Amino acid sequence: MTTITQKADNPIAHLTPEDIEQIGAELDAIRQEVLDTRGERDAKYIRRVVDTQRKLELGSRAVLLFSAFPPAWLLGTAGLSVAKILENMEIGHNVMHGQWDWMRDPKIHSTTWEWDNASTAEGWKHSHNQVHHTYTNIVGKDNDLGYGIMRVDEEQRWAPMHLGQPVWAFINACFFEYGIAAYDLELGKNLRLPKEKRSEDFKRRAKDTLRKIRKQATKDYVVHPALSIPTGSFVPTLAANFVANLVRNLWSNSVIMCGHFPEGVETFERAAIPEKETRGEWYLRQMLGSANISGSKAMHLMTGNLSHQIEHHLFPDLPSNRYAEVAPKVKALFDKYGLNYHTAPLPQQVASAWHKVFRLSLPNGWLAETNMRNLPRQLGVLKKLTTGGPKVRRAYDAAQRRAARQRREAEAAAAA
Amino acid sequence: MSTIAALHGSAHRGSRLRDVLTRAVEAATTPLLPADYLDLFAPLRSGADLRGRIVAVRPETADAATIEIKPGADWAGHVPGQYLRVGVDVDGVRQWRAYSLTHGPRRDGLISITVKAVPDGVVSNHLVHRSRPGTLVHLEQATGDFVLPPLTGEPKFLFVTAGSGVTPVIGMLRNLFPVTDSGVVGLDRPLDITVVHVAPSEPESIFIDNLRELHAAGAIRLVARYDDVHGVLDVDRLDELVPDLGERTTYACGPTGLLDALAAHHEARGLELFTEQFRPATLVTGEGGTLRLEKADVELELDGTATILDAAEAAGVLMPSGCRMGICMGCVLPMREGAVRDLRNGEITRAVPGETDPGGVPVQTCISAPAGACHIDH
């Protein structure tokens, strides 16, 4: 994808500044409607989800005490996986957003919540709530774009190391919670600094994260397996916990990739964001920078309602159970202003996101130009780009840009 | 040191074993606590946060009801006349209010509060009209010093109650004179009690039947005054209603106006007076200003009428709170910088970095409004 301002067919070119402010006002009205009716029904909802999740986890862990018995292993592992997903997605993520702070219940409050994840609540709230939600999809500002390790945009210069991107994207997905923890700590940036230059704040947060990881790992890989020893189920329970964490990691990674990575979701150039972005402009960026997953109620629940990523990004602090309700109104607004409401079923969005990971692991335009017939020649080009110096790659990029411009001009001429 | 260690060795081992066990269970539930799971099944158990379950809601008048609550196992009991703070979820929002206990300690272990629905009262209207048996509520232990002294000799008391101010007094009276199937008991006590009971009208008079019963049994002398019949009570003519006023110790509970008038009246005559007030009397407004809650990272523009506590809660910040009327100090937070005004008397409290306590100047958030920009460490 290309940042929106570099695009030939800028999808917001038809909007006047007045339109944009009007969109902001209409979205504010939708938000206010929810705030005005927020109450007992919502409180009941989140309490029921928390209650169900905890009972499911307790039940699954109880079944896993007998996990040497294969059906018990299957049942317990499935239950624990679902419980962990609910805990992270519909409960943890949303509680830490402050979606339920209005209830003034200290047990369900963003300032007191801690979740079953390697990343600490404190670190997550900073990197996710403040950085990602504020600077959504601004290349160079929003670290969620590729988590600092991937090439997610055509305008990031391609380098040979990006060829490995699909592999480490997959590894990151399997151990997603640790990836998130590392990313919350800005580990890459901080480890590059000499030890004595790292901030006290970083050292403290790193220590907190390590302590958290130790506690989580002790629970899953020592305490619960040890409790299963009487039935000879130490190893099966350990495996069950590992699988449940793996399932949770792959699932949450998929959902999050669907939120911002599918083809067609816009990214933004840092320089093109006004110094003082208006409420309307911020809303518009959220509208274009997110993608939804269509599906059943169960799908919405299991994604923590991030299947309503667009609605979530517009109103990150509204209770998640309300996103489904406001979605038709938001969609109508997209239609009214001729904007693309990006939604598709999960498999399609996941495939689209992974397609992008593969495409951008290769030089710009390479994948699109390659077919069975020209494969040998294209591989030759790739080899030259990989083994050649930056000069070779710059020349290739320039040729790509030239070709793209010519195509655009030809299309314009044809249209005229 | 070592002798002490040896002496306490076995006790020590016991508590150490408990620590190890606790840590092991916590290791199995982290990041949650074992209590988070136990609460699912036994919210009233010993060791849990103090809660209670509503057992019954009994109407007293058209707009007042008595709520009977089964308190959690850790309920420590109360002295009649005391109040407790109750946390109720109204429209999904946790609200805390203080209510007097309207019984002495009961054999069935229940506690009861009597609530009068006040106009626009979020919690009182909910409790009176919409609360249902079975609902969990959050509690704090009973507190308050509006209680009778140990009864020695032949004490003579005057109780002055107005409106829902009757609630702590009925708690005391019911404790002194329990009403059983065979009638009022406890009449043999050497007690002389007069109750001046003020209400807007007879039908709006909470516990009037109870008071009449006690009067008929000879336990108390009841002087009921209804505004619509007798006019508003004139405190200066109290001795016409209670001729032996000078021999009595007065306990009064009601609105601020009445209590202030009684205080002046009693002080002028050198009489002893104990009072209980339910609502803060806000007399002044502050200048308003920017409130900054440092740890919560919240900044609010406030006018001078909203208290820091109310405004911060409305903004979704979890705040410590207590009586909400400037008495219990449960809401006190350190102010690092700035000025607040006490809405009861207009007094200004300032915090100046480098001059006042570096830890901050404690302010009662429930009766304070910003008087300029202020930074609260919370």
Burial of B4 (0-12, 13-18, 19+ CB in 10 A): exposed
A211 close to B (CB below 8 A): no
- The gap between the terminal CA atoms of chain A, to the nearest Å, is 26
CATH of the domain at B332: 3.10.20.30
The enclosing domain of B244 has a CATH number of: 3.40.50.80
Q: Do B161 and B207 belong to one domain?
A: yes
Whether residue B10 lies inside any domain: the answer is: no
Looking at chain A from residue 82 to 121, which residues have their Cβ under 8 Å from any Cβ of chain B?
Answer: 98, 101-107, 109, 111-112, 114-116
Calpha distance A318→A42 (Å, rounded): 10
Of B27, B31, B94, the CB nearest to A114: B31
CB-CB contact of A221 with A64 (8 Å):
no
Band (A379; pLDDT cuts 50, 70, 90): very high
Report residue A171: phi and psi, to 5°. -60, -40
pLDDT at B281 over 70: no
SS3 A75: helix
**B163 & B269 share domain:** yes
pLDDT at A130: 83
Extract long-range pairs of A187-193: CB within 8 Å, 24+ residues apart: A188/A148, A188/A149, A189/A148
Could you report the per-residue pLDDT of A3-27, keeping only the tens digit for each?
A: 666 666 788 889 999 999 999 999 9
Q: Do B318 and A111 touch (CB under 8 A)?
A: yes
The last residue of a domain, from among B228, B250, B276 = B276
Q: At a CB cut-off of 8 Å and minimum separation 6, what does A399 contact?
A: none
What is the mean predicted confidence (pLDDT) over B281-290? 70
Asked if residue B8 belongs to a domain, the reply is no
Q: Are residues B174 and B253 in the same domain?
A: yes
The CATH code of the domain that includes B81 is 2.40.30.10
CB within 8 Å: A43 and B24: no
Whole-number CA gyration radius for chain B: 24
User: Do B108 and B179 share a domain, yes or no?
Assistant: no
Rounded Cα distance, A175 and B340, in Å: 51
Digit-coded pLDDT (tens) for B179-199 = 888 888 888 888 999 999 999
Are the Cβ atoms of B92 and A219 closer than 8 angstroms?
Answer: no
List CB contacts (< 8 A) between A58 and chain B: 37
- The Cα B84–Cα B78 span in angstroms is 9
Chain centre to alpha carbon of residue A270: 20
Taking an 8 Å cut-off on Cβ atoms, the answer to whether B27 and A58 are in contact is: no
Question: Domain check: are B356 and B294 in the same one?
Answer: yes
CB contact under 8 A, A103 and B93: yes
The last residue of one of the domains, among B114, B139, B164, is B139
Query: How far B203 CA sits from the closest chain A CA (Å)?
Result: 33
Residues B166 and B272 in one domain: yes
**Domain end position, chosen among B276, B308, B335:** B276
CB count, 10 Å around CB of B269?
12
Q: Give the H or E element holding residue A232.
A: none
How far does the CA of residue B29 sit from the closest CA of chain A (Å)? 7
Same domain, B160 and B258: yes
Residue B97, domain member (yes or no): yes
Query: What's the mean pLDDT in B56-65?
Result: 94
| Yes or no, beta carbons of B28 and A41 under 8 Å apart | no
C-alpha count within 13 angstroms, C-beta hemisphere, residue B273: 22
Note whether residue B266 is domain-resident: yes
In this structure, the answer to whether residues B176 and B248 fall within a common structural domain is yes
For residue A133, name the pLDDT band (cuts at 50, 70, 90): confident
For A415, counting Cβ atoms within 10 Å of its Cβ (0-12 exposed, 13-18 middle, 19+ buried), the class is exposed
Contact residues, chain A, for B316 at CB < 8 Å: 98, 101-102, 104
For residue B308, give the 3-state DSSP assignment.
Answer: helix
In this complex, which of A98, A102, A224 lies closest to B28 when CB atoms are compared? A224
Q: Which of A34, A48, A104 to mutate to test the interface with B (most CBs of B within 10 A)?
A: A104
Rounded to a whole number, what is the distance in Å from the CA of B319 to chain A's nearest CA?
A: 9
The residues, any chain, with a CB within 8 Å of residue B359's CB and separated by 6 or more, are: B334
Under DSSP, the state recorded for B201 is S
**Contact at 8 Å (CB) between A263 and A1?**
yes
**Residue A309: what pLDDT?**
96
Q: Say which amino acid occupies B217.
A: A
- Residue B181's pLDDT is 81
Q: Does B311 lie in the same domain as B204?
A: no
Among B24, B37, B94, beta carbon nearest to A54: B37
Tally of domains in chain B: 3
Mean pLDDT of B99-122: 92
The beta-carbon neighbor of A219 closest among B28, B317, B318 is: B28
Q: Say how far apart CA A245 and CA A81 lie, in whole Å.
A: 7
Nearest CA in chain A to B94: A104
CB distance A104–B316 less than 8 Å? Answer: yes
Range of the domain at B316: 289-376
Instruction: Establish if B28 belongs to a structural domain.
Output: no
Contacts B31 to A, Cβ<8 Å: 114-116, 212, 215-216
The verdict on a CB contact (< 8 Å) between A106 and B36 is: no
pTM to 2 decimal places: 0.89
What local confidence, expressed as pLDDT, does residue A120 receive? 96
Taking a C-beta distance cutoff of 8 angstroms, is the pair B333, B362 a contact? yes
- Provide the residue type at B279 as one letter: R
Helix (H, G, I), strand (E, B) or coil at B86: strand
pLDDT surpasses 50 at B153:
yes
Cβ–Cβ below 8 Å for B31 and A112: no
- The tokens describing B51, both together, are 């809660």
Q: Which region among B12-26, B218-232, B274-288 has the lowest average model confidence (pLDDT)?
A: B274-288
Considering CB atoms only, which of A43, A102, A115 is closest to B31? A115
Share of chain A above pLDDT 90, in %: 73
Cβ neighbours of A116 in B, within 8 Å:
31
Contact residues, chain B to chain A, C-beta under 8 Å? 24, 27-32, 36-37, 40, 89, 91-95, 296, 313, 316-318
- Predicted ipTM of the assembly: 0.89
Domain presence at residue B242: yes
Q: Which residue of B has its CA nearest to A104?
A: B94
Q: Which residues in chain A are contacts of B85 at CB distance < 8 A?
A: none
Asked if A43 lies within 8 A of B89 by C-beta distance, the reply is yes
User: How large is the average pLDDT for residues A107-131?
Assistant: 92
- The per-residue pLDDT for range A56-111, each reduced to its tens digit, is 999 999 999 999 999 999 999 999 999 999 999 999 999 999 999 999 899 999 98
pLDDT above 50 for B291: yes
A390-414 confidence digits (pLDDT tens)? 999 999 999 988 988 898 888 888 8
Structure token digits, residue A324: 């489904």
Q: Give the largest Cα separation in chain A, rounded.
A: 80
Q: Is position B18 within any domain?
A: no
Percentage of residues in chain B having pLDDT higher than 90: 65
Of B27, B91, B317, the CB nearest to A40: B91
Please name the member of B27, B296, B316 whose beta carbon is closest to the beta carbon of A223: B27
Identify whether B60 is part of a domain: yes
Q: Residues of A with CB below 8 A from B93's CB? A: 39, 43, 102-104
